[in-house]
Structure 1
Amino acid sequence: MEPASGPAYEQDGRAPRRLRCAIYTRKSSEEGLEQEFNSLDAQREACEAYVASQRAEGWVLHPAFYDDGGFSGGTLERPGLRRLIADIETGLVDIVVVYKIDRLSRSLMDFAKLVEAFDRNAVTFVSVTQSFNTTTSMGRLTLNILLSFAQFEREVTAERIRDKVRASRQKGIWMGGWAPLGYHVKDRKLIVQETEAELVRRIFRRFLETGSVTVLTRELHAEGRLTQHGKPFHKGLVYRLLINRVYLGEAVHKGRSYPGEHAAIIDAETFDHAASIMATQRRTRAAETRRATPAPLKGLLFGPNGAAMTPTHTKKGDRFYRYYVSTDVLKERGRPSSAAPTRLPAAQVEALVVDQLRALVRDPALAGRVSEELKASHPKLKLADIDAQLRSFDAMWDQIFPAEQARILHLLIQRVDFRGDRIDVTWRGHGFSSLVRDLVAGNNRAKVAA
């Protein structure tokens, strides 16, 4: 695609001015990036050749590398792209060169935002494999059509993959990923690894005897037991093992179980017994700690009029009810508005906040932002490791003691506003980076203890 403006000559008309060309490359998956010459290198080589062919027009190569390996084109939260936009905003780039338009973005809305940033800074862009001029209305229409098809292709591909995974799981087929402890993968099937399988059976037996994940984890540390990846066990890992229905010979997809192709390691009676113990423990632990634990949103929740909402409770018979009440009401500062409730059921409003937290930690874009923030303090921490820490946090949330849940919410949240018909959460700027640092530190302490 040709740049929006023709050759930019100096005012005397004798020599073109230098146009700094930044090359942007992207690949959706990390597969193959470890090769000596990968897809990003191929894209950059083609773009460099194109810039060299325009040397007579004053084009010069910008020395910085703007590469995003393993990032989807459906989001703008990419480290390389963010550096490119920052350099454009500071006036360091005149032309952006890409191999294909969909390397820059596969989202029509996101591309419109990029074009707005380009126009604001008098920056044009070029696709070396797609030639058309965006200075004309027909060129802009062609661009929008190409982007619409790129977005359509991305969405259809995602739907096709989801449908294939769902159909395969319903047939009990293993669809890849890390094999659970007790199994190894052969010919895309789970095969029982008897040594590890015996450790799994022992973990279930000891849990039925002790009734405590904490005690069981300490025993595993004392015995020097390691996972199939050579890492020490921690409470979250033991808990996930005890609720993993793969050990019943089942395939699980979106919370539903189907008969699997693989052999079971644990019988149904043992699995159900362990599940009933954990369910009883959750209810008992919640009842014992509810009164002694401060409300997790204390100091964070505010009502429609901006007044803070403080925790309170009442008791009817053996039932204990928790609420958040507006401080205006407690201090009798004016009459409460009928349109703005002044007392909220604590469990419901806390659940709404936690639901937003769960959705956020599952967002792949969050891992990219945290990776960018931690790259200076934790240079060895990879994006995949950060994503794994965030995903494990979602699974472990219900097993965290209420006091720890409250600490994490205060670490992540600046304030929660009840608007009458919705709950708005304002997250702290670097809260999730701090959370990931805590999770990494916790894993390191577990390794030292082992």
Structure 2
Amino acid sequence: MMPTTVDLQQKRCAIYTRRSVEQGLDHQFSSLEAQRAICSAYVASQQPKGWTEIPKHYDDGGQSGGNLNRPALQDLLSDVESGVVDVVVIYKLDRISRTLLDFVRLMDLFESFGVAFVAVTQNFDTADSTGRLILNVLLTFAQFEREISSDRLRDKFTAMRQRGLFVGGNPPFGYDLVDKKLVVNEPEAEVIRWMFRRYLEAKSYVTVSRELARRGVLRRSRVSKRGNFVRGRGISASSVWNMLGNPLYAGQVRNKGNCYPGIHDAIIPEDLWEDVQALRAKRTRAKVVEIYKTDLLRDLIYDGFGRKMGVFRDRRYREVRRYYISNQSEWGRRHGARRYRVKADPLEQLVLGSITSLLSNREQVRGLLLETGNHDGKLNKLCGAGDRIAKALESATPKRAQCILKALIERIELSSSWVKIIVRLSELPRLLQWDGIGLFRGDTIAWERSHQTTVIEIPANAVSMKRELTLLLKRRSAESAQLPNKHLVAMLDKARVAQAALDDRNVYTVTDLAMKVHCHPKRFTQLARLNYLAPDIVAAIRDGSQPAGLTCRTLYSVELPMDWALQRRILGFPDQPDFLRAAPGW
């Protein structure tokens, strides 16, 4: 009889390790390496079952277990979806997650891809029902431990504040932090005293802020915990409001609405503090502030430069007008990029109509579903549900419509000539299977991983720039030593004289105008055309930064179009971006 061999199915095991703090990661044998060594030994013991360790490391050092935003974990999940992992091995349950909700989502993901989950020190895996039961119980206790730790920290901070101690963070303006205690910074303390006294006189936060700016008062520069340098900036009106209400300056520490005597020295005397608080209370508006959170496209819109667009409400008119306006970034300030503004209602209707049109187009929906791998018998049923979902979206309340759009749309990009809607294809089949009950919620874990998208491009002029009187002029480079061409500059001056002659209504013929300017009639017509040069071309000539090949003969002989962009191309100037605006000192 011939001997028989049994081929065990090979199971590829990925080891995941995590450590909450970065301290000690550079040691010769760190906690991550210890976790990996224990897990490797366990995988080696399971070789008779066909287990083999993947050489790739999934190590998260200095990462919290309270969320799933961890580089190595996201890399592991991508490999799970790619089918290169059969078993996920960890040292202990709380190494992969400390929250029940995140862990349940991970288990659903592993189960959907047929991946087993093993915790070595707890001696169980998810291959059987008993392991899954114990896993859920232990995870519940892990979450309980995390909540208990949070409660302990909260109680500790409360006790510290009640004893008048500073709990940490950046010290407020007017104080230095020495040995974890607040010490008065006398130069800044003088500014604080002036602010309190000036507010009693001016009764205006804006006035105090403007006078501080005129005096050149800035917050101190500092280095953040991540090592980033934060430049000191001026004190805004909102900062003045916060500082005038901070009880630390009166020698007190606030905790949950109550104030306790602090161990640090006060900057403001008690009578001045009480007078300022009485004035602030008298000037407080006694009305409920409505917080708007139902704008359909909130947190979804970005302009053509990648800046997020927030919601602005203009209350100067009888009816409140809503706009989406670009948030100015440091890059935008440095490059002089103007902010985009678009009316909210027309844009929301445009996006809503585009999504409902997509859902109602059975042929287009079918093509998108095929791209996502939906080839089974449910394909026709999903395609037929598009009309029902489109009608539900049109008649939905703002909150329900916002949830659907936020799940289906990844982002919306705007420019002066188009609107691009980036749609998540992974959410399309889930939306088509939705029964319409409750709020439709997207799968946020799937969003964090790579996923397919499609782009809906709409040619629309929805964007308007922020209204400002600007000239598109560039700053002269300090490195440029080129002097203005005196012949070109004199020609521009003659063009101004020719324009003045044209404005004189007492002269009617070109010959008479040319005689007045002391030139030939043909030359007069050539000079008159130069008054229609683009402002940046004129500025470059007077500044001496024009292209080297630009001469008087060229300007006289060329047929100048009225379009400034064509003028630049003909004369050899670079294209002028439409987002540049004049900055102070330009």
How does the TM-score come out when normalised to structure 2? 0.45
Q: Does 1:106 align with 2:95?
A: no
Give the counterpart of 2:26 among 36, 58, 73.
Answer: 36
CA contact (8 A) 1:213 1:238 kept: yes
Aligned pair in 2 of structure 1 residues 38, 129: CA closer, same or farther (>3 Å)? farther
Amino acid aligned to 2:239 = L
Q: Deviations over 1:162-194 (max 9, x none)?
A: 122222222222222222122223343322222
Q: What SS does the corresponding residue of 1:178 show, helix, strand or coil?
A: coil
Please name the residue that 1:69 is paired with: 62
Give the counterpart of 1:191 among 180, 183, 190.
Answer: 183
Please name the residue that 2:160 is paired with: 168
Amino acid aligned to 1:90 = S
Please name the residue that 1:126 is paired with: 118
Give the counterpart of 1:143 among 135, 138, 144.
Answer: 135
CA contact (8 A) 1:173 1:260 kept: yes
CA distance in 1, matches of 2:395, 2:28: 50
Please name the residue that 2:170 is paired with: 178
CA contact (8 A) 1:108 1:147 kept: yes
Please name the residue that 1:351 is paired with: 290
Please name the residue that 2:220 is paired with: 228
Q: What SS does the corresponding residue of 1:85 show, helix, strand or coil?
A: helix
CA contact (8 A) 1:96 1:125 kept: yes
Give the counterpart of 1:251 among 250, 253, 263.
Answer: 253
Q: Does 1:204 align with 2:196?
A: yes
CA contact (8 A) 1:183 1:197 kept: yes
Q: Does 1:51 align with 2:40?
A: yes
CA contact (8 A) 1:207 1:216 kept: yes
Following superposition of structure 1 onto structure 2, how do residues 438-449 of structure 1 map, counting pairs within 5 Å? none
Please name the residue that 2:16 is paired with: 23
Q: What SS does the corresponding residue of 2:267 show, helix, strand or coil?
A: coil
Amino acid aligned to 1:157 = S
Amino acid aligned to 2:253 = A
Aligned length: 321
Q: Does 1:267 align with 2:269?
A: yes
Q: CA deviation at 1:99?
A: 2.9
CA contact (8 A) 1:417 1:423 kept: no
CA contact (8 A) 2:13 2:43 kept: no
Aligned pair in 2 of structure 1 residues 262, 209: CA closer, same or farther (>3 Å)? same
CA contact (8 A) 1:24 1:81 kept: no
Following superposition of structure 1 onto structure 2, how do residues 424-435 of structure 1 map, counting pairs within 5 Å? 426=403
CA distance in 2, matches of 1:430, 1:81: 22
Aligned pair in 2 of structure 1 residues 216, 84: CA closer, same or farther (>3 Å)? farther
CA distance in 2, matches of 1:195, 1:35: 42
Q: CA deviation at 1:262?
A: 1.8
Supply the RMSD in Å over aligned alpha carbons.
4.8
CA distance in 1, matches of 2:59, 2:173: 39
Aligned pair in 2 of structure 1 residues 184, 423: CA closer, same or farther (>3 Å)? farther
**Tell me, which stretches of 5 or more residues in structure 2 are unaligned?**
223-231, 326-342, 353-392, 415-582
Amino acid aligned to 1:238 = V
Amino acid aligned to 1:19 = R
Aligned pair in 2 of structure 1 residues 181, 352: CA closer, same or farther (>3 Å)? closer
CA distance in 1, matches of 2:281, 2:322: 21
CA distance in 1, matches of 2:85, 2:221: 45
Q: CA deviation at 1:251?
A: 1.0
Aligned pair in 2 of structure 1 residues 219, 148: CA closer, same or farther (>3 Å)? same
CA contact (8 A) 2:86 2:114 kept: yes
CA distance in 1, matches of 2:148, 2:130: 27
CA contact (8 A) 2:65 2:94 kept: no
Q: What SS does the corresponding residue of 2:158 show, helix, strand or coil?
A: helix
Aligned pair in 2 of structure 1 residues 273, 155: CA closer, same or farther (>3 Å)? same
Q: What SS does the corresponding residue of 1:227 show, helix, strand or coil?
A: coil
CA contact (8 A) 2:88 2:116 kept: yes
Amino acid aligned to 2:221 = H
Max radius of gyration: which structure? 2
Aligned pair in 2 of structure 1 residues 111, 53: CA closer, same or farther (>3 Å)? closer
Aligned pair in 2 of structure 1 residues 267, 401: CA closer, same or farther (>3 Å)? farther
Please name the residue that 2:209 is paired with: 217
Aligned pair in 2 of structure 1 residues 197, 159: CA closer, same or farther (>3 Å)? same
Q: CA deviation at 1:22?
A: 5.0
Q: CA deviation at 1:206?
A: 3.2
CA distance in 1, matches of 2:394, 2:32: 47
Q: What SS does the corresponding residue of 1:54 show, helix, strand or coil?
A: helix
Amino acid aligned to 1:96 = V
For structure 1, which segment, 241-250 or 221-230, has the greater mean C-alpha deviation from structure 2 after superposition?
Answer: 221-230
Q: CA deviation at 1:120?
A: 0.7
Aligned pair in 2 of structure 1 residues 200, 143: CA closer, same or farther (>3 Å)? same
Please name the residue that 1:156 is paired with: 148
CA distance in 2, matches of 1:225, 1:113: 51
CA distance in 1, matches of 2:160, 2:413: 36
Amino acid aligned to 2:35 = A
CA distance in 2, matches of 1:104, 1:65: 11
Aligned pair in 2 of structure 1 residues 219, 352: CA closer, same or farther (>3 Å)? closer
Q: What SS does the corresponding residue of 2:170 show, helix, strand or coil?
A: coil
- Which structure would you say has the larger RCO, counting Cα contacts within 8 Å and 6 or more residues apart? 1
Q: CA deviation at 1:281?
A: 5.5
Q: CA deviation at 1:265?
A: 1.0
Following superposition of structure 1 onto structure 2, how do residues 404-423 of structure 1 map, counting pairs within 5 Å? 407=323
Q: CA deviation at 1:408?
A: 6.8
CA distance in 2, matches of 1:139, 1:89: 23
